[in-house]
Amino acid sequence: MTGHTQRGQCAKRMSILDAAADVFCRQGFAAASIDEIAAVACVSRQTIYNHYREKETLFVAVVEDVMNRANAMLFSVLSAFPDNADNLEDDLTVFVVRLNKNCLCNHDGKFLRKLVQTEGERYPHLFESWRQHGPGKLTTALSALLARLAQKGALVIDDFDVAARQFVALANADLQMMTLFGGTPTDAELEKAARNAVRTFLRAYGRPPAENAGAQPQLAAVSG
């Protein structure tokens, strides 16, 4: 019955949430002013207080909103990995590119990492759920994925959890500094970083592709 109003309200809400995410991310919770958020959202200040009781309520809503988006995207990227990996190196590289581009280095990823550092101590419960559903889910899902690949004989891994964490770490190795300083990697940089990460990961955990075991393994493929 209130469909139209809901749509109008919903648009306002999203506009407010987007603007608040922008301002909170740039300024931090304390320095962000409601007036600036209202200006960015092209909305009256009273409208914000109409939707959210106070500044902290708005902040919590923003974080939860971004968390939901980020989790959905993470799930999407994770489930896009092919079940039958025919070319492991290429498949992993595509996966790492997508992971970096859509989850780790994108707008929401930077927002969450930044906010969890600045306000994490002040809102432990808020980010604890993100910790479980975000990075926690990532490592467990990756761990399961690596276990599957190991069972197929494509990888040789003793500790799947450690390998999963190292996989993520390697995927970020080349981009960490850039993202720390606010930069956004280009597609070429993403591709290069992913290739470096996957190559090293496979050099550590990969198996020689052929059945002639004992032959020169991946290690000797270092070309220089």
Binding string, residues 14-33; x marks residues near DNA by CB under 7 A: ------------------xx
Give CA angle at 73 (67, 78), nearest 5°.
125
Q: Which conformational region is residue 182 in: left (phi greater than 0), alpha (psi within -120 to 50 degrees), or beta?
A: left
Q: Widest CA span of the chain, in angstroms? A: 73
Contact 47, 38 (CB under 8 A): yes
User: Restricting to residues 14-53, which ones interact with a second copy according to CB under 8 A?
Assistant: 26-31
Q: Does 122 bind DNA (CB under 7 A)?
A: no
Give dist(CA 41, CA 20) in Å, integer: 8
Q: Which of 44, 68, 87, 132 binds DNA (CB under 7 A)?
A: 44
Q: Which is nearer to a second copy, 68 or 117 (CB)?
A: 117
Q: In sequence order, which residues have a C-beta less than 8 Å from that of residue 4 and are 6 or more positions away?
A: none
Member of 14, 26, 54, 169 binding DNA (CB under 7 A): 54
Does 153 sit near a second copy (CB under 8 A)?
Answer: no
For residue 190, the partner it binds in a second copy, DNA, none, with Cβ less than 5 to 8 A by kind, is: none
Q: Does 168 bind a second copy (CB under 8 A)?
A: yes
Q: Quick check: 17 and 62 in contact, CB under 8 A? A: yes
Using CB under 7 A, list all residues that contact DNA. Answer: 1-6, 8-9, 12, 32-36, 42-47, 49-51, 53-56
